[in-house]
Amino acid sequence: MLAAALLAALQEEAPPQDPLALRLANARAAAGAALAQGKLDLARHEYRSVLRFEPAALDALEGLLRVAERAGDADARLRWTLAHALAGAGADGQAPRLPRLQPVAGAKELEKLLLALPREQAAAARAVLRAAERCNGADDAGLALWHADLAREIAAGCPALLADLEPELEALARRCAPDPQQVVRDVGAEIGHAVSEAKALDLAPDTAAPESGFRNPQRERSAGQAVLLARVLAALSAQARHAKGKGVPPGFDAAMSSAGAALGTALGELRPRLGREYALDAVAAAAPVQRALDNEEVASWEMPAVTRSPRGWYRVETTCGLSALEAAALCVEKHHQRLANWVGEDPFVGRPGLVRLVPRGCDLDAEGAPFWWAGGFQGGDVTTLRFAMGTREGLGRGLTHELTHRFDGALWANCPGWLAEGRACWTGAAYNTEDDTQFIGDYLAAGSFAGTFNLGYGDPGKLRTLLDGSLEEYRDNYTAGTALWSYLYQAKDSDFTPREEEEEEKKKKVRYQPMNVHLYRSRLEQFMRNPAQGGAVAWFERCFADGQDGRPEGLDEFTARFRDFMNAFLEPEPPVWTRRFAAGGSGPAHDPLLYDRMSWPNDHWRCPPAFGEEHAGFAGEILAQRRRALPAIRALEWARSVDGPERRRLEILAAQYQAAEKPAGAFVTRAELRRLLGGSAPAQTGLPASLRTTLGRVADLIGKLEQAASAAEAAGAGETALWLSSRAFRVAAAAGLQTAPRSAEALDAAERETVRACPPPRAFGLDGWVGQLRGEEKSLGPWHGNPGSLVLGFSPEETPATGQVRALPRRPVFVRSPRTLRERYSFRAELEPLTPYVEGELIAGFRGGNRYVSFRFAFGSAGYAAGTSPVEEIRAIQVSYTELRERDGALWGGARDFTLPLPRPRGTDFTATVELLVDGPDAAFYFDGALVGVLHTADGMLIEGFAGFAVSAGALRFLDPLIQEHAGWRGGPRCPCFEAPAPWNPGVASSWSWETLVGRALEGVDAGENGTLVVYVPDDEDDDASDPAERSQQARYEVEAVGEPLPEIPAEFQPRWALFLPQALYDALDAGVLEAAAARHLLVAPHPPHPGYALWIQRTREGRLSPGRELRGRPSSIVIFADAGGIIRAVDNGPDIPRWLKVLRGF
């Protein structure tokens, strides 16, 4: 009895067992029992489940070896032998002893090769690390990065070796980190040199040369380069202000001071002389092709396009293209005149202004923007505005906004932030077309009221922060300032009745009868014309809350009246008096987009930039132009560290290493570029002398891997051969060697479809989880997790044990793995919604800020979650995916957003599986096992970086999140567990449903430099049975109907055409028709029946596709557009194809 009592007490005091440890113990026990009972499939499954959480568990690997032995699977035996050797090898590469097993027949030598590979890996990795000791300082940053990446790639799969190398690799990274401070000094010094060159010859007056302020072209070029470099330093200075010193090198201010004089000369004296001046009538008369050519000459601030407005009121400068130049020059005076009419005077007579249009967000940094997010700003008589992916109408509204600031700055002594932004937002919307000479007198910006409420400015304390400028976020001035200005400018005493409970008291106190007059408008001029007296809030109360003429008394009463006024417009049935106000301007009937190439940048969405982002790269490019190789290398390596690898800059960087007589740097940079492009970059020949020893040791390892692969093939072990070939390929690609795995050619077609050489999937959180801010996020939402589960949106205390919480938190959170993923990988998880509505996201290739690939999904009932509606069934999932490029939303196919109907209605608590497969530059998204969409990166670069999960609304539990790296390589064998859609070839039958064509590569047709239009004529059941003469006539008609020039597209920019006919129609064509088609450069070819097309029809009929993705009717032909890179961008979407062509060709 006593012993039992003690045992019970001990059990009560024992801490609860870790769920994961218990899970693994159960899996081990189940695996052992299954193996003993001969249940080999079950034993294999349980042992692999252990490897998910303990990839180097030798007991599980030994168990898999025994399973393979019992099953007589020699291929699996060999594969697990190698896995066991790598997992158990020490830092010296010594493999552990294998368990006693029956030898594999005829594979004794192969086993020896496999067991020796860990030693070969360790020796090669250490050789690379020894060579890296020669790297020292920022000038060797690229070489150090290559050594580190190569060492890690070689050591992959060997945990002890990786752990032993890591401290030295981290020390190498610190020793050779880029040096921003030195780059700033280099740029400052080079500005001085360029300014001296530009001033060495006599400067010509502006009238001396119509296209230039300089007589000598070389001096003009030097002046332009001085200005470009000066803009870099100005941008870095702006970024330093925006970041409030975070990430800024300590010597930055000193370096800026030393460059001050040259900087001032470049921007103050040289810049006004630069530019190619255009007459507006010449711009209007230019043909589209000539305009596109001219645009390329004025795409840089080294030589911007310049013109004057018709009456000379404004000089316009831009690198946005001639269409933007013309639009701004023709409309700016109209907007200026309307503002002058409104305020009653023009304070700028005889004082011309300057309008400077820039195409990119980073350009605004270089112009000295006050905030990183600004879309424009006014500085004295200079109006700086970003113009991108827009129309003349939109440009005019932006100009009106900024010109309002110009007028206000000249006329009023007191114009605080809320008033300045409120007035500018109001004027930018309060007209119909640019030809209007007056603003819409009764326009009310009621659209800002809901946002003002949500921001809390219906509260007196919060409103006080708006008035005195102490608000946390300046951008609140746009929303709340617009609402407050609208109220002050438009509210009349008769617009609303005081609240019932206060009505009698107010009558006694105020004794004021409404007279249908504006309450505050007469006081606005007094408020603006005089400096604030007694403080901002006191002056506001004195002008607008003085208790006179029906106005409220004090800020509290003013806020209540302001709140009541706004609330009236937000009611389901607004009061009658609200109808007297006008909505915003209607705009012109036709307002086409302007398609100059440079005004459609392919940048990532703007977010707070890291110090040096974009501008370090600009500095490197200009320094390279000036043949300053070492300074250019330093700048471009800094750019790679903040922007990530970019194709054009890597090409420039390699050339600069070569110019600096650093062939090793050139070699490794080209090797990285080739790897990132999946081998599509030109191959290198010859090895730099300083790397021959290192690369020779790496080549030995690759040779051993290939030798083992060849032996495995000879032994019939195709899976082992593929794994070894994949390792050889990855090591060769990381090293920059041309060696390709010979075993790739030996695998026949059947084996390519059946090999399963991938390592087991592992728990996503095995290495821990990392919370990460993205974009503009300032704080991380709640989350918690372990290797086998991740909860986003709820803290541990908020997370229910079972079921859901009826709530709708909006606390964005992104959590990722700490490991960088490369080449070919996939990750998946089961979703368990913890709230009735969720918005989740799968993220790949994360490199900071907004540089990543995003696949978003949303489902559930937001109304039920928020408590405003009864529970609803879920009938569809909202899906979107994008690379977060700015122009995606303006180009159909750039970003996809659609509804995915569910096969049957589901409750809000349903679960689903999500998976993302990444294959180089391609990503495929699966929801509940069904392929939803495919994305191809805009620059063709591999999707590399961190991967993870995110939630922006609600809360989600991600159960059993797994990640898997896959064997094989692009263009070679592919494991069947990696079902990424293959490129689409119209001449080869495809089984993937065709609503997923967008984003896939087009094969079988040479891509045209202006893109390719493929016309696909579907099979008709009657084709084979029809009369031969009828078939011939129909086939002839199809050929003659295709290839006509697209309207609006100049002849020089027409796409290539291809026509694919069913075999029966193609066979009916006579030789003369084909010869005539060839003469028109029209490709005509047959196609087989495509099951994917039939599946598209079936899924459409079953209602499983949204309207934007379903097949409309039974078309006689389908048009498929692929861009110049061979990526399908539009399917059966005619109106969007010309837009793609215009953007890509820039006219």
Domain count of the chain? 5
Specify the pLDDT at position 208.
Answer: 43
Specify the pLDDT at position 744.
Answer: 39
* Strand bridging mode 922-927 / 930-936: antiparallel
84, 98 contact by CB (below 8 A): yes
Q: Which residues make Cβ contacts (< 8 Å) with residue 1140, sequence separation at least 6?
A: 891, 892, 893, 1011, 1121, 1123, 1129, 1130
Residue 1035 has pLDDT above 90, yes or no: no
Q: Which residues make Cβ contacts (< 8 Å) with residue 748, sequence separation at least 6?
A: none
Is there a single domain that holds both residue 384 and residue 243?
Answer: yes
Structural domain range at position 769: 762-965
> What average pLDDT does the segment 391-408 reach?
97
Structure tokens at 926: 């699966």
Is there a single domain that holds both residue 775 and residue 796?
Answer: yes
> What average pLDDT does the segment 129-144 reach?
91
Specify the pLDDT at position 209.
Answer: 41
> What average pLDDT does the segment 360-383 reach?
95
Specify the pLDDT at position 1147.
Answer: 54
> What average pLDDT does the segment 54-77 reach?
90
Specify the pLDDT at position 1023.
Answer: 54
Residue 987 within any structural domain of the chain: no
Lowest-pLDDT range, 138-147, 632-641, 709-718, 838-847?
Answer: 709-718
Specify the pLDDT at position 210.
Answer: 41
Specify the pLDDT at position 19.
Answer: 80
pLDDT for 444-463, tens place per residue?
Answer: 999 999 999 999 999 999 99
Tell me whether residue 223 is exposed, middle or buried, using C-beta atoms within 10 angstroms of its C-beta: 0 to 12, 13 to 18, 19 or more.
Answer: buried
CA dist 728 and 706 (Å) reads 7
CA dist 506 and 484 (Å) reads 23
Is there a single domain that holds both residue 944 and residue 1059?
Answer: no
Q: Domain ends where: 919, 950, 965? A: 965
Specify the pLDDT at position 685.
Answer: 73
**Which CATH number is 956's domain given?**
2.60.120.560
Concatenate the DSSP letters of all residues of 377-407 into one string.
EEETTEEEEE--S-BHHHHHHHHHHHHHHHH
Residue 26 within any structural domain of the chain: yes
pLDDT for 776-832, tens place per residue?
Answer: 888 999 999 999 899 999 999 999 988 899 999 999 999 999 999 988 899 999 999
Best CA proximity match to 1000, nearest among 933, 953, 944: 933
> What average pLDDT does the segment 63-67 reach?
91
Lowest-pLDDT range, 158-172, 231-245, 584-598, 732-746?
Answer: 732-746
Residue 133 within any structural domain of the chain: yes
Is there a single domain that holds both residue 157 and residue 202?
Answer: no
> What average pLDDT does the segment 236-264 reach?
85
Q: Domain ends where: 913, 947, 965? A: 965
Is there a single domain that holds both residue 351 and residue 214?
Answer: yes
Residue 436 within any structural domain of the chain: no
> If pLDDT is split at 50, 70 and 90, which confidence band does 911 have?
confident
CA dist 295 and 292 (Å) reads 5
Is there a single domain that holds both residue 228 and residue 331?
Answer: yes
Specify the pLDDT at position 8.
Answer: 47
* Residue, of 2 and 971, whose pLDDT is higher: 971
Mean pLDDT of the chain: 87
CA dist 545 and 46 (Å) reads 75
> What average pLDDT does the segment 866-880 reach?
84
Best CA proximity match to 774, nearest among 834, 839, 822, 845: 845
Q: Please identify which residue in the block is written with the tokens 């991108």.
A: 388
Percentage with pLDDT > 90 across the chain: 53
Specify the pLDDT at position 746.
Answer: 42
> If pLDDT is split at 50, 70 and 90, which confidence band does 705 have?
very high
- Calculate ∠ Cα 321-326-332, nearest 5°: 120
Alpha-carbon dihedral of residues 1091, 1097, 1102, 1108, nearest 10 degrees?
A: 120
Specify the pLDDT at position 969.
Answer: 61
Is there a single domain that holds both residue 55 and residue 78?
Answer: yes
Encode burial over 782-803: b for 16+ CB neighbours within 10 A, e otherwise.
bbbbebbbbbbbbeeeebeeee
722, 755 contact by CB (below 8 A): yes
> What average pLDDT does the segment 261-285 reach?
90
Encode burial over 89-125: b for 16+ CB neighbours within 10 A, e otherwise.
bebebebbebeeeeebeebeebbebbbebbbbbbbbb
Helix (H) or strand (E) segment spanning residue 828 = strand 824-833
pLDDT for 1045-1073, tens place per residue?
Answer: 887 777 778 888 999 999 988 998 988 88
Is there a single domain that holds both residue 1052 and residue 1117?
Answer: yes
Encode burial over 835-874: b for 16+ CB neighbours within 10 A, e otherwise.
bbbbbbbbbbbbbbbbbbbbbbbbbbbbebbeeeeeebeb
Tell me whether residue 442 is exposed, middle or buried, using C-beta atoms within 10 angstroms of its C-beta: 0 to 12, 13 to 18, 19 or more.
Answer: exposed
Is there a single domain that holds both residue 225 and residue 352?
Answer: yes
CA dist 462 and 458 (Å) reads 7
Is there a single domain that holds both residue 400 and residue 545?
Answer: no
Residue 203 has pLDDT above 90, yes or no: no
How far are the Cα atoms of 777, 825, 1141 from residue 883, in angstroms, in the given order? 18, 18, 20
Residue 1101 within any structural domain of the chain: yes
Specify the pLDDT at position 127.
Answer: 94
Q: Domain ends where: 580, 610, 626? A: 580
* Residue, of 1009 and 857, whose pLDDT is higher: 857
Strand order in the sheet with 1128-1131: 1082-1087, 1056-1062, 1012-1016, 1118-1122, 1128-1131
Structure tokens at 1023: 């084709």
**Which CATH number is 1141's domain given?**
3.40.1350
Lowest-pLDDT range, 119-128, 141-150, 514-523, 770-779?
Answer: 514-523
Specify the pLDDT at position 371.
Answer: 95
Residue 390 within any structural domain of the chain: yes
Specify the pLDDT at position 16.
Answer: 53
CA dist 972 and 748 (Å) reads 11
Is there a single domain that holds both residue 373 and residue 224?
Answer: yes
Best CA proximity match to 1003, nearest among 970, 978, 975: 970
Specify the pLDDT at position 366.
Answer: 95
CA dist 616 and 395 (Å) reads 29
Concatenate the DSSP letters of all residues of 353-385 into one string.
EEEEEESSHHHHHHTT-SSTT-SEEEETTEEEE
> If pLDDT is split at 50, 70 and 90, which confidence band does 108 have?
confident
Encode burial over 11-40: b for 16+ CB neighbours within 10 A, e otherwise.
eeeeeeeeeeeebbeebbebbbebbeeebb
- Calculate ∠ Cα 1075-1076-1077, nearest 5°: 90
Specify the pLDDT at position 147.
Answer: 95
Residue 340 within any structural domain of the chain: yes
Specify the pLDDT at position 1133.
Answer: 57
Residue 612 within any structural domain of the chain: no
State which amino acid sits at residue 867. Answer: G
Q: Tell me the Cα Rg of the chain.
A: 34
602, 1144 contact by CB (below 8 A): no
Concatenate the DSSP letters of all residues of 154-213 into one string.
HHTT-HHHHHHHHHHHHHHHHHT---HHHHHHHHHHHHHHHHHHHHHSPBPPTTTBTTBS
Specify the pLDDT at position 602.
Answer: 87
pLDDT for 679-703, tens place per residue?
Answer: 766 667 778 888 989 999 999 999 9
Specify the pLDDT at position 999.
Answer: 86
Best CA proximity match to 642, nearest among 670, 605, 611, 602: 611
Structure tokens at 759: 């390592």
CA dist 814 and 785 (Å) reads 12
Residue 17 has pLDDT above 80, yes or no: no
Alpha-carbon dihedral of residues 422, 425, 429, 435, nearest 10 degrees?
A: 110
Structure tokens at 654: 């390699």
> What average pLDDT does the segment 550-571 reach?
93
> If pLDDT is split at 50, 70 and 90, which confidence band does 293 have?
confident
Is there a single domain that holds both residue 234 and residue 262?
Answer: yes
How far are the Cα atoms of 65, 580, 948 from residue 497, in angstroms, in the given order? 85, 16, 54
> If pLDDT is split at 50, 70 and 90, which confidence band does 246 have?
confident
